[in-house]
Structure 1
Amino acid sequence: MPPRLRPTRLEYVVDGVKLRSQLSAAALEAIGDEAEQRRRALEILKSALFRGRMIAKERLEAGAGGIETARLLSGVTDEVITALYDFTTVHVFRARNPTEGERLALMAVGGYGRGTLAPFSDIDLLFLRPYKQTAHVEQVIEYMLYALWDLGFKVGHASRTIEECIKLAREDFTIRTALLESRRLTGDEALAEELKRRFRAEVVKGTGAPFVAAKLKERDDRHARAGASRYMVEPNVKEGKGGLRDLNTLFWIGQYLHPADAEHVEGVLQLEMFERREITAFIRAFDFLWAVRCHLHFATGRPEERLTFDLQPELARRMGYGDRGDAPAVERFMRRYFLIAKEVGALTRVFAAKLESERVKSEPKGFSRLLPGARAKRKKLDEGFHEEGGRLNIDGPQTFEQDPVNLLRLFRLADQRNLDLHPDAFTAATRLSGLISAKVRRDPAAAKVFLDILARSRDPQRTLTMMTEANVLGRFVPEFGRIVAQMQFNMYHSYTVDEHTLRAVGVINDIANGRFAEDHPLSTAIMPLIHDKEALFLAMLLHDTGKGGEGGQERAGARAARTACERLGLDRRRVELVAWLVEHHLVMSDYAQKRDVSDPRTVADFARIVQSPERLRLLLVLTVADIRAVGPGVWNGWKGQLLRELYNATESVFRGGRGSEASSVRRHFEVLAASARERLIAAAPETADWARSMEDAYFAGFTDDDMLVHAALAARAERQRGAAADARVRPDQGAAEIVVAARDRARLFADLATCITAAGASVLGARVFTSRLGQALDVFYVQDVSGQPYGADNPKSLARLAESLEAAARGEATKTEPRRLADFGRAAAFAITPTVMLDNEASETATVVEASGRDRPGLLGALARAISDAGLSIVSAHIDSYGERAVDAFYVTDAVGAKLRDPRRMTALKARLLSALQEGEASPAKPRPNLQKARASVAR
């Protein structure tokens, strides 16, 4: 990291005396010409402002602190605004003998009043008058506001009397908070002091309880809007959970309860409940977050508050982070950010809880939970613990010092009793977490307490989260501690690794309690059949501990799981079960989403890996929870359907005792297909020819009702120019199902895929079947851009898409529209290497082609055209995306229905597909923001 510099004295940046003399000279030189006077004044002020901002920017990039930079920028703004005020009141609208009504004080309020300012922050000003506004005061205010706007400021302003300020502050907590941080910039000093005195006496005094309650509620509402987790991988530095606004809330509360100089954090927080280490942590977090915010503004040239993927590498570079081993600079920087956010969370929790339990012993009674009026009674619980004011507390630090296992018992007891932690207990646990030594980690009593929390508590996610914030979980399970605040630099995951893991643990608990019965009926049904729930929860907790490890995530994770489980005292069989689950936690989703479940080889290969019904059940629940915890909108009914199909097919193999040999599984599928074909013919004899012409794989993937619909559609296609399409919304699968029956021809699938893309739909999956009569049946599952079933809100659009697909199937030209991903700029921040793999072992009848690269509209059609141009037919397509990366798998055969084995044709196909993947790639893999544009914006 760059060395810290000595703070810059403001007069070295903007010399206020010199600035005012320049303005006076400009006024005198253009005396009598008000327009010229104004033009010259603005030119001088712009130059001073630009110089000040550039010096602040250069010092920030050289290692200056965030608070120092914010104060420097605020000081520069102070000098410019006060100089403008002097120019206005001396040279433009001078009152030589000001009356009482012409008194005016200019005050900074809100964040600007606190004396910290980001490069492109709004500035909030209060023009304070003694009573009703005079013409002179109105002219001064109007002149100044227009000048400030011309200087590029975004100004929030108000012109009020002291009486108006007091009245509005009593009614509105936002105005009250703004005035809490007010400071005089210039103008009538007595007027400004009168406001501060009356504000304290008439608004603040005796109203601590409602103010604290309002600020905490405001914080909760803001979190709900900005995202309930402080570990979102694209955090909002200002408004997000764990960001600057959370610290500001604590600052406001401290300032309200303990009036002090708003510019000095240490003074505001000198309350008896706040320890020195907490104040130090507050200032450290405040400084880091201000540095990030200032860098963000300078890098983008605008008031950007969200740390998006495309900005993260640039911010890491600006803040001095470099690659270290396997850890890229951007992930090191973001881990630091999330550790700070974690610290902010701990501070918020401790401060707010202390305010609830201690601060307002002197406040009026009746404010219930938030501010109890009397000292809470103690209720003795287990040895060393007691309940105090509805919170779990310890008898003293000796509770942990005499038996460090109590650091774990604290959280188990809190869960069992459904109690929140007393701030003293939480603080002591955090400070004494170092007592968890290697000996404690191997203590059977500690292991039992931990497993009770993990697998048998009422709310393991909440309890484990508290343990993480207190540094207890990472100390007891160091494998988990290694991934705390670890960044996942991709667009697929919405949270840090530890937050994703704890959410996944919570999902398993919810499934076990029946809370997701509608979304996950199969998982809910099989949970009671799982014999070893401890192994399931342990595997979930440890499943991502191999990220960034040697030998790949799966193998490194299995090694970490073995080490952790052996230390916990599990027997060898259970150790190996947990390690197996961790090593194979991605296998089921890979097979379900990238392979054809109607292919017997897929089921045989998967069954060979799983080997037992118990592992199958464990893997299903683990996979569901893992996917669901990735982020909002990642789980959908389509993925659930794929997993259910794979589970049912594999469970059927195990139940029949046929083993996992491909030949046995194939015979099993043949029997199922023959039975389904006979049922179809019996239900609709007119379908006999069509049913006998369809391949066995078709009958493995659809219900009897589906087959009747498809047969009727095929007959309709023969009657109407060789093509017919049918579409319906499938809420159970989270997608619209579109079935197209048409005469088979080259590039049919590619044309259909292109047509779907042109309609603004996204293909989740596709199944392609060709009868021996030469008719193709293509089934697509599609969503709209919001991830909802296409046409769910507009059935006419779904009908139009079906009509367009009929036309495309007949070979009619499809109108295409070039579309760009809404977040293509963010996706361009990632370097994605296109890859193509051909596998002749994954299927007995087809070559499996897997193509992976940057996702974009039209990619599926481009890949399908490349395959068709190579003289190959697509048997089935399996479409998936992981944020910025698309992974599409195709089962293909040659002109005679055989696998592709010719090495030259395989090489040519790879080249075609790589070309399709690279088409439309952004030129720079990791573009930096336009710094010249940012510099110009600063100048403006």
Structure 2
Amino acid sequence: MGEISDPRKVIDRRKLTVELAALADEGKLDEAAVSRVLKAALAEGRAEVRRRFDATGDGRMAARTLSYLMDQIIRALHDAATQLVFPLANPSTGERLAVVAVGGYGRGELAPHSDIDLLFLLPYKRTPYVEQVIEYMLYRLWDLGLKVGHSVRSVDECIRQAKNDLTIRTALLEARYIWGEQALNQDLRAKFLKQIVAGTGPAFVEAKLAERKARHKRMGDSRYSLEANIKDGKGGLRDLHTLFWIAKYLYRVEDVATLIDRGVFTAEEVRRFEKAEAFLWSLRFHLHYLADRPEERLTFDLQPELARRMGYTDHAGSRGVERLMKHYFLIAKSVGDLTRIFCAVLEAQHQKRSLLSRARFGLFQREIEGFPVDGDRLAVADADAFVKDPVNLLRLFEVAQRHDLDIHPASLRLITRNLKLVDAKLRADPEANRLFVAMLTSKKGPEITLRRLNEAGVFGRFMPDFGRVVAQMQYDMYHHFTVDEHTIFAIGILWKIEQGLIKDEVPIASEVVHLVQSRRVLYLAVLLHDIAKGRGGDHSELGADIALKLGPRLGFTDEETETVSWLVRYHLIMSNTAFKRDIDDPKTIQDFVAAVQSLERLRLLLVLTVADIRAVGPKVWNGWKAQLLRDLYWRAEELISGGLIAVKREERVKVAVDALRSELGDWTDAAFAAHVARGTPSYWLAYDKETLARHARLVERAERAGDALALDTRIDHWRAVTEVTVYTADRPGLFARLAGALALAGANIAAADIFTLANGKALDNFQVQDGEGREIERPEDLKRIRQCLERMLADDEPAPPDLVFPPSPLGRRTELFNVAPRVLIDNKGSAEHSLIEVNGRDRRGLLYGLTKALAAQKLQIMSAKVSTFGARAVDVFYVKDKFGLKVEGDARLKPIRDALMAVLEEGEAKTSSPPAAPSPSDPDSDSAAAE
């Protein structure tokens, strides 16, 4: 890494010591004076480190320099304590101590906001003098504002505790002498190597790898999380530290380059290690300085400025922030490669299979299809296996998948060195393509195998279009993983659906997946559905073109290829229809069926949509979305099979009313007839009989009591919503008032059904959630909703009032993403209504502003579909004019569009941070429910 240049510009310890001694001579060396002198030296040193880092961007050197600065502060403090404050002319053995750095500080690395981990090392037991010195030093370090983790132990206590505690053992492994009685540190080092390290290498390695695995699981077990933790996440600095700990424990090395001589790493692999370490340290320093705290997560709000500081600029087809994150993900992948390589060498050199998996002993060699088997891992016979037959680069993975075997890390290392063999000739090889399709569609489960292929670098080279989305992020709040990781997750979910492993959550998809005629088509469509992300333009159309090229190469028939291409082209149509259109409107179903055309495509589309949405990230899938997709599927299936055509609307209404009568068996015929007279055909067909019965009882109670307002709430855990039903006199702007009241109460509206009954009363039903997308069920929250609704409806003013809403639970995060305001008015999507689709940045009270604007335009809102995808709100209103007709003509539509745009732009104007640069991704991707 190189020596620190001009270290006295960072801190001059001699000058510092002289200054403290002068204060002591003058009788002014009180605690405040010591703290003041050290604080000034620390501030000057940190400023110098910051200046050097800003000039060079060298995070590793900055980490080393900060560590050097802290060393000198601690040495000066130690000398002041032992020589000036508590001087002893001839200290006894028990009055001696050593100050030792442990943890990251022990490695000689400190980030700007790192903790300082110290071991005060004693010869045998504490004495009053030693306790006095330690206490004095700790208080002065705390006065400096440092976060100090410390322990006070004798040499023997360290050894005893290290035998049983892996954390202490690791800390002592990195222990570094700072100041004081150096012989104590030497004694500790000698005993540690003799009593702890000797003969325990395999056990230590196994424990550290198990610790690493547990940490990965705790952090989400993916190195492709879009808000990655660069320290503890998979592929982060801690993984590099783990490799170094193991190397130091086994080989007694002090730097990674020494591993070349030990035959562990090649010179190229050491360069990869150092490149990864340098990038991660530079990123970490920028992160700490930018956040001004010990932040280790690349949160969305910090990513754009980090990209700017690190020199990532916008290019055609990609933004600077996306380029930064892609670089990070590739570095994280490289760290994973190095881990596999390192583990392969450990096993080869130590002949301990337990270093990587279960603690089994005894080697039983056998062979499967030309590949030797070592325990439960498949290997290659010799170093030329791939050169002799490049198809083996795929065959190895396929055989391992078929026989439920892992792949030997030594073989993975050999693959990495032979990736150039994955060329155009291999891509055109029929057997190579057959093997790939066999892995993709295997009933053994393709997710693990595809991830192995991707991690090894084979996947992206064998399918270059997929290689373009490896580590490709999408800078939004909706997606949680890179495109390649999302795709592999989706294929894994498809397999779980097929195996019936999640049938309780997706029962219809789990049933219809077995009715599709070609599962090969389904698996390939899921693989290719996002393959054109990040190219600009419509990724669905571009992906469909890619499917037409890849299908024949992979051995698919023309019919199969055409179906795959269609699925990729229309993979968003089902989610867009279910979440953004009124599926109670017959025209919606007719238009959807006109696009889908067949039961086979409908079934394929449902399963693909479910897998796609569930793979977006945690908490994206819920019962509400499941219900909407199920309803759309059943209605489309009924129409395709002739059901809706055969049964007239009047007959369907009669069936619904008869079913309601059976639910209200305790009602008199007169009471039931009076209630039926209030309803409308669209209302009777909108709900199941249980919901209709619940509404009926609410209406009957209100009419009998003469209540001006009746409210009912019901928690639906399956759909993850709370239903809020309002029965009151209809009036202009009523929907706006209700939306405003719910927003004031902190509720997010997921969907709304609006009905005006024959008696002039409104029966409006809202599905609401909290800020985390969950049902609202706390009594105090439900009470607040009721109070806000009552207050809002008590207002007699003709126009809805101006309201001030509480901050969104997402805070400033929604301000980070570009969401272009857009208003679309469609008079073809419904036979009776005009559809107004509004896209804009989500914020608390947005729906109120939009509906208030529509009320001002004298429009009746008949139904609303309300959706949120990350920072983007997509609200669709089914409206009529005051005469009950569609809204048509430019002279009428332009004021409506302008009024809604004004509401959207008002929210943009209130955004305190500048808008992000436009994303090059296709326009439908930001608002799509499934990506």
Q: Could you state the TM-score of these two structures normalised by the residue count of structure 1?
A: 0.92
Q: 1:544 aligns with which of 496, 512, 530?
A: 530
The 1-side partners of 2:15 and 2:195 are apart by 41
* Residue 292 (str. 1) matches residue 272 (str. 2): no
**Structure 1 match to 2:130:** 137
1:77-156 to 2 correspondences below 5 Å: 77-156=70-149
The one-letter code of the counterpart of 2:703 is: E
Q: Deviations 1:269-313 (Å, cap 9, x if unpaired)? A: 764444443333222211111111111111121111111011111
Q: Is the 8 A contact 2:721 2:767 kept in 1?
A: yes
1:630 equivalent among 611, 616, 621: 616
1:922 maps to 911
The residue that corresponds to 2:237 in the other structure is 244
Q: 1:225 to 1:912 in 2, by over 3 A?
A: same
Match of 1:912 in 2: 899
The C-alpha deviation readout for 1:886-921, integer Å capped at 9, x for no partner, is 111111112121122253443222233233334453
Q: Which of 334, 347, 351 is equivalent to 1:361?
A: 351
1:368-402 superposed Cα distances (whole Å, 9 cap, x missing partner): 9545555x22211102x121122111112332222
Q: Give yes or no for contact 1:539–1:582 (8 Å, CA) kept in 2.
A: yes
Aligned to 2:156: 163
- Counterpart in the other structure of 1:748: 734
Matched residue, 2:177 = 184
Partner residue in 1 for 2:5: 9
The structural deviation recorded for 1:875 is 0.9
| Equivalent pair of 1:853/1:885 in contact (CA under 8 Å) | yes
8 Å CA contact 1:361–1:371 kept in 2: the answer is no
Whether 2:10 is the aligned partner of 1:20: answer no
Q: 1:688 aligns with which of 673, 677, 698?
A: 673
**Paired AA for residue 9 in structure 2:** V
Once residues 198 and 243 of structure 2 are traced to their aligned partners in structure 1, the CA distance between those partners, rounded to angstroms, is 18
Q: Deviations over 1:161-203 (max 9, x none)?
A: 1111111111211111111001111111211111100111111
Could you list the runs of 5+ residues in structure 1 that have no partner in the other structure?
A: 659-663, 929-940
Corresponding residue for residue 585 of structure 1: 571
Q: Quick one: structure 1 residues 448 and 137, their matched pair in 2 at CA, closer, same or farther if it must change by over 3 Å?
A: same
Partner Cα separation in structure 1 for residue 528 and residue 285 of structure 2: 37
1:379 corresponds, among 362, 366, 378, to 366
Q: Distance in 1 between matches of 2:137 and 2:416?
A: 52
Residues 678-720 of structure 1: per-residue CA shift (max 9 Å, x gap): 5546776433344355333223321123222223322223233
**Residue from 327, 336, 344 that aligns with 1:345:** 336
Match of 1:780 among 763, 766, 775: 766
In the other structure, the counterpart of 2:188 is 195
Which one-letter code corresponds to 2:319 in the other structure?
P
Deviation above 6 Å: which 4+ runs of structure 1?
812-817
**TM-score of the superposed pair, with normalisation by structure 2:** 0.93
> Which residue of 2 is the match for residue 322 of structure 1?
313
For structure 2, the residue ranges without an aligned partner over 5 or more in a row are: 918-931
* CA–CA separation in structure 1 for the residues paired with 2:832 and 2:252: 79
8 Å contact kept, 1:412–1:457: no
SS in 2 for 1:647: helix
Provide the residue aligned with 2:844 in structure 1: 857
Q: Is the CA contact 2:749–2:766 (under 8 Å) kept in the aligned structure 1?
A: yes
Q: CA deviation at 1:597?
A: 0.1
Question: Is the partner of 2:118 in helix, strand or coil?
Answer: strand
* 1:868 aligns to 2:859 (yes or no): no
After TM superposition, the structure 1 = structure 2 runs for residues 625-774 of structure 1, keeping only pairs within 5 Å, are 625-656=611-642, 668-669=648-649, 671-677=651-657, 679-680=659-660, 685=669, 686-719=671-704, 720-774=706-760
- Once the two structures are superposed, what CA deviation does each residue of 1:811-830 show, in whole Å capped at 9, x if it has no partner? 58999884223332332222
Contact 1:727 1:802 in 2 (8 A): no
- 1-structure distance, mates of 2:787, 2:832: 33
Query: How far apart are the structure 1 equivalents of 2:579 and 2:649?
Result: 20
Deviation of 1:758 (Å)? 2.8
Contact kept, 8 Å, 1:819 with 1:857, in 2: the verdict is: yes
Q: 2:751 is paired with a residue of what secondary structure?
A: strand
Question: How many Å apart are 1:803 and its aligned residue?
Answer: 6.8
Q: Is the 8 A contact 1:727 1:739 kept in 2?
A: yes
Question: Is the alpha carbon distance of 1:102 and 1:395 closer, same or farther for their aligned partners in structure 2, counting shifts above 3 Å?
Answer: same
Superposition RMSD on alpha carbons, in Å?
Answer: 2.6
In 2, distance between residues paired with 1:337 and 1:362?
Answer: 33
Q: Residue 933 of structure 1 aligns with which residue?
A: none
- Report which stretch shifted further, 23-32 or 214-223: 23-32
The answer to which of 325-334 and 672-681 deviates more is: 672-681
- In 2 relative to 1, CA 691–271 (structure 1 residues): closer, same or farther, beyond 3 Å? farther
Q: What secondary structure does 1:745 align onto?
A: coil
Q: Distance in 1 between matches of 2:719 and 2:223?
A: 31
The answer to which of 720-729 and 191-200 deviates more is: 720-729
Q: For residue 505 of structure 2, what is the amino acid of its counterpart? A: D
For residue 415 of structure 1, report the CA deviation from its aligned partner.
1.2
Structure 1 CA distance for aligned equivalents of residues 916 and 94 of structure 2: 57
1:761-784 deviations in whole A, cap 9, x for unaligned? 222111111223312221111222
Which residue identity does 1:923 align to in structure 2? S
Q: CA 1:7–1:337 in structure 2 vs 1: closer, same or farther (change >3 Å)? A: farther
CA distance in 2 between partners of 1:505 and 1:889 (Å): 31
Structure 1 residues 251 and 110: CA distance shift in structure 2, 3 A:
same
CA contact (8 A) 2:229 2:297 kept: yes
Could you tell which deviates more after superposition, 828-837 or 644-653?
Answer: 828-837
- 8 A Cα contact 2:739 2:848, kept in partner: yes
Deviation at 1:351, TM superposition (A): 3.0
Amino acid at match of 1:279: V
Comparing 87-96 with 300-309, which one deviates more in the overlay? 87-96
- Matched with 1:312 is 303
Distance 1:79 1:319, change over 3 A: same
Question: For residue 924 of structure 2, what is the aligned residue in structure 1?
Answer: none
Helix, strand or coil for the counterpart of 1:732? coil
Contact 2:202 2:352 in 1 (8 A): no
Partner of 1:335: 326
Amino acid at match of 1:827: T
